[in-house]
Structure 1
Amino acid sequence: MKPFAIVILILFITATSCKKQVVIPEESYTAMVEAAYQLSVDKDSLIQVEALEMYETAFTKFPDSITDYSIYEASVVASQIKTFDKAFSYLEHTAKLVEDEMGFPGWDYILGEYADEDYKNLMQDSRWLALYETALNDRKQFFERLKAEEREFFNTRKNEDTSILEAEELYHHLKTSNNYLPKKQQDYSIAFKINDTTSTSYFVHLPKSYTPSKKYTVLFYLHGAVRGNALSVFETKLNLMYDNKRYTKRADANNVILVFPKGNKDFNWMLKDDGFFMVPEIVKQLKMALNIDDNKVFVSGHSNGATGSFSYLMKQPTAFAGFYGFNTYPKVFTGGTFIKNVLSRSFINFSTDQDYYYPPNANDSLNVLMADLKADYKDHRYNGFPHWFPAFEESEPAYDILFDDVLHRKRQPFPKKSGMGV
């Protein structure tokens, strides 16, 4: 199954080691399909039969709540227990989707990396071969559409002939005009070349009211778990969901552009310098397409992403106005920690006392140093929470703090206090 099913399970279900502990809930669609998924991971085929029955009960009881992803999960269970007609019935639904509720195209269920395991029992059936052929064509059209959308994203107005303008008119024109165009979409997946043989992508979420005549604030979100992530040929609106919905709703309310790069263990913002250029280079690309306020570009992240944010503060802060981190490990892994660079910028850290990955004493010692430097550095400590603090509703006030700072802070291009690398 696709990996975000595991994430959902961890966040919303307390795992049980005994099959008898599973309680069949009926109070909501979400509770029923989560319990069905919990049953489905059992290797006992009889338990998997129960899981499929629970999915089908949820579909019948809550027809207006059915999600594409739950239908996919049901198709996998049906495939595992060799209930082929039901498996194909559900699978044909997902395969026809232009995109599901998380932005994944229907063909990805057939051609994606998990299909071989999910549907190994179906692959000798003629119906699978038909779905596969259709998926190949759908994938081709999908990437043609992505390329067209990317061209539209970077398209700008042609330069106007200013040769006939008088000096005062020319000055006013240069001061007030720009070549940016309106955007046809709110969300874009943009391809990003890392080197001659390696590429990834990043996801851009625009305000609904985006207009090229206005300058916009940009907030980067750097994901964690860089060692466990893979580079991607496209990104989806899954970036806007689950924990990240706390960014999304505040960005939408305040007309902030969100950007989500995708890294891996070799190319990222933390472990090696090979990928450190990615975020500054994406800033340059965005400024070609969008009317961005040069003094309102910010970086945030969680875990490895927060450490990446801290690394940009230490090593390459010039293009950014401020930095934020949830459960930050305040360390630069390559190139040295240029601690005085903080004097020209700011960092707001959100730490927890039960963070067993990045213990609070690492932040405590840094807090003392930052106080001695009189740096614009704040550490907000939340007690009683583990490393995945952003998954808890109690993290909401932290996001309010972050966005209040984003809205009121502007970069000082020529700061009175200068760091070593600025």
Structure 2
Amino acid sequence: MRRNRNRCRPSRPERWRRRWGHSLRLRLITVFLLLALAMGAVFMSGMQRAFSSGWRDAAKPLVSDYMDRLVADLGSPPDLGRAQALAARLPISIRIEGPQVNWQSHPDRQFFGGRASEWLSRTTADGHKVVFGPGTIPSHGMFGWITLSLLLCLLVGAYAYVRRLLRPLDDIRAGAERFGRGVFDTPIPLRRRDELGDLAARINTMAHDIKAMLDAKRGLLLALSHELRSPLTRARLNAELLPVQGEGSAPRERDALLRDLGEMRDLISDLLESERLASPHAALQRETVDLAALAREVVADMPQAAAVALDLAPDLPALALDRMRVRLLLRNLLDNALRYSAGAAQPPSLSLQAGEGGGVMLEVRDFGPGVDPAQLAHLTEPFFRTDGARQRATGGVGLGMYLCRLVAQAHGTALEVRNAAPGLAVQVLWR
């Protein structure tokens, strides 16, 4: 498994390439560097061409006159003492070839050839050839390091400026993530009054409008749910008081009416509870809860769950949880597992084990047909049912798993749903 994971992991150059393609800062710095290099190359090329064409013709007579003066100073035949003093005083090298004197001031130096050799060589009256070349030039390596340091300082300064220039993008990204999670209390800070500052201000205004719409929707839904409870309770009471006369259609119609009214009552209760849990101000009534004991209580209160297999590890730690909300989660998970276990080879199972790194791992699993992998990500969405053609009497209204997800999130954990082959497994790590 580790070998396959390493094989799928991108190489370091590939990771850098992706990071460069994703980072606007790095691309701006790259453009800055390429522009600086291109400008330097164009400037050096232009200066070299200017010196190689115009300045060469202008410097040729001056160099020739200077060479004539140096040869005249050496004498005929050339005086070695003067040649040595001249090579020591000037940054040049001298080579003398002739019938009487054969001498070179710098044996390790190479002399110019071609057209430059014509400028820098002279022949004396007695047949000696004097050739001049580059000598020992004082080293200025420190200037190269200083230039490199200045370039690096410019690069660091440019990166710092670009980073400061694009800092609002980090704030906008963090703000968008907060708004996506439904946290609208902290707006995006407005650091500057440029285009990015205007963008952050507009996103803040959009988030404020979205929060107002969500609050209005939540308030309307809560108000409607509360208002529907009273007439629904009266209708159920009137249905309970209907006379039952013998066997026939009247008892069946009465039972169907009571069942429909019960579903409406459960739907309203689930809607109210989901809105309370979805609110950012949802308050949990935490207390010390023994999850194993609570699981046994829930199974005992559900007559249809008598066949559920319990796998409860001993000595599990007691946790600070909201007992009523966790009970709701357990009932919904067990009800969902029992609903889809009809005709399965074995009944559903409920497991409580010690979690890795502490806490308690809860798993509820059925051994039914499972769920289409494309639908797994939608199981915890409100009003989602895996089979839209089923009747509500068998498929529910699609709020059970949504409520379970909200209960888990309110406790700071997450609901994980996966195909267990066979069946479906739901896990929650309580801490």
Taking structure 1 as the reference length, the TM-score comes to: 0.29
Greater fraction of residues in helix: 2
Bigger Rg, which one:
2
